[in-house]
Amino acid sequence: MTPDALSQEEIDALLKGASKGGGEESSSGAGSSLSADEEKALGQYGDLMASTQADMVGTFLGETVTVKRKSHSAQPAQAISEKISGNTVFCSYVYEGGLAGKSVLLFAEKDACKIGGTMVGEPEATEFSDMVMDAFKEVCNTIGGNLNTSLSGKAGKSVTLADSGVEINDFSADIVKEKLGDSEGYGFIVYGLSIGDAGETECWQIVSAPLLESLKALVKPPEPAPAPAPAPQEKSAPPGPQAAPVQFEQLSQDLTQAKAPANLDLIMDIGLEIRVELGRTNMKIRDVLNLGSGSVVELDKLAGEPVDLLVNDVIFAKGEVVVIDENFGVRITEILTLQERIKTLGELKA
Can you tell me the distance from the alpha carbon of 110 to that of 201, in angstroms, rounded to the nearest whole number?
Answer: 10
Mean pLDDT across the chain: 80
CATH class of 27-218: alpha beta
Of all residues in the chain, what percent carry a pLDDT higher than 70? 74
Give the C-alpha distances (Å, rounded to integers) separating 305 from 105, 174, 302, 337, 346.
Answer: 21, 35, 6, 19, 22
Q: Would you place residue 289 in the very low, low, confident or very high pLDDT band (cuts 50, 70, 90)? A: confident
Quick one: 271-349 is in which CATH superfamily? SpoA-like (2.30.330.10)
Q: Tell me the Ramachandran region of residue 23: left when phi exceeds 0, alpha when psi lies from -120 to 50, beta otherwise.
A: left
pLDDT at residue number 154: 82
Whether the pLDDT of residue 348 is over 60: the answer is no
Long-range contacts of the stretch 336-341 (C-beta < 8 A, 24+): 338/256, 341/314, 341/315, 341/316
Pick the closest to residue 72 from 154, 178, 189, 160 (CA basis). 189
pLDDT in tens, 67-108: 999 999 999 999 999 999 999 999 999 998 888 999 999 999
Q: Would you place residue 244 in the very low, low, confident or very high pLDDT band (cuts 50, 70, 90)? A: low
Whether the pLDDT of residue 141 is over 60: the answer is yes
Can you tell me the distance from the alpha carbon of 145 to that of 162, in angstroms, rounded to the nearest whole number?
Answer: 11
Query: Is there a common fold for 27-218 and 271-349?
Result: no
Q: In the predicted model, what is the mean pLDDT of residues 187-191?
A: 96
pLDDT at residue number 304: 78
Whether the pLDDT of residue 20 is over 50: the answer is no
| Of residues 301 and 346, more confidently modeled | 301
pLDDT in tens, 294-338: 888 888 888 778 888 888 778 889 998 888 877 888 889 898 886
Q: Which of 150-159, 166-175, 200-209, 218-227 has the lowest mean pLDDT?
A: 218-227
Whether the pLDDT of residue 243 is over 70: the answer is no
Pick the closest to residue 316 from 259, 270, 264, 275 (CA basis). 275
Q: In the predicted model, what is the mean pLDDT of residues 205-212?
A: 94
Residue 250 phi, psi dihedral angles, 5° rounding: -60, 125
Pick the closest to residue 159 from 171, 150, 167, 168 (CA basis). 150
pLDDT in tens, 257-268: 445 556 667 777
Asked if residue 158 lies in contact with residue 62, where contact means CB atoms within 8 angstroms, the answer is: no
For 208-344, strand residue ranges (E) read 274-277, 307-311, 314-324, 327-335
Can you tell me the distance from the alpha carbon of 135 to that of 144, in angstroms, rounded to the nearest whole number?
Answer: 15
Whether the pLDDT of residue 149 is over 80: the answer is yes
Whether the pLDDT of residue 65 is over 80: the answer is yes
Task: Write down the domain spans for the chain.
Answer: 27-218, 271-349
Of all residues in the chain, what percent carry a pLDDT higher than 90? 35
| Of residues 21 and 60, more confidently modeled | 60
Q: Which helix (H) or strand (E) holds 167?
A: strand 159-170
Whether the pLDDT of residue 22 is over 50: the answer is no
Q: Would you place residue 275 in the very low, low, confident or very high pLDDT band (cuts 50, 70, 90)? A: confident
Q: Which of 55-69, 158-172, 218-232, 242-256 has the lowest mean pLDDT?
A: 242-256
Give the C-alpha distances (Å, rounded to integers) separating 76 from 30, 180, 244.
Answer: 7, 12, 80
Can you tell me the distance from the alpha carbon of 142 to that of 162, in angstroms, rounded to the nearest whole number?
Answer: 14
Task: Kindly report the pTM of this predicted structure.
Answer: 0.57
Give the C-alpha distances (Å, rounded to integers) separating 42 from 209, 213, 238.
Answer: 11, 10, 65
Q: In the predicted model, what is the mean pLDDT of residues 14-25?
A: 42
Asked if residue 273 lies in contact with residue 252, where contact means CB atoms within 8 angstroms, the answer is: no
Can you tell me the distance from the alpha carbon of 233 to that of 191, in angstroms, rounded to the nearest whole number?
Answer: 61
For 208-324, strand residue ranges (E) read 274-277, 307-311, 314-324
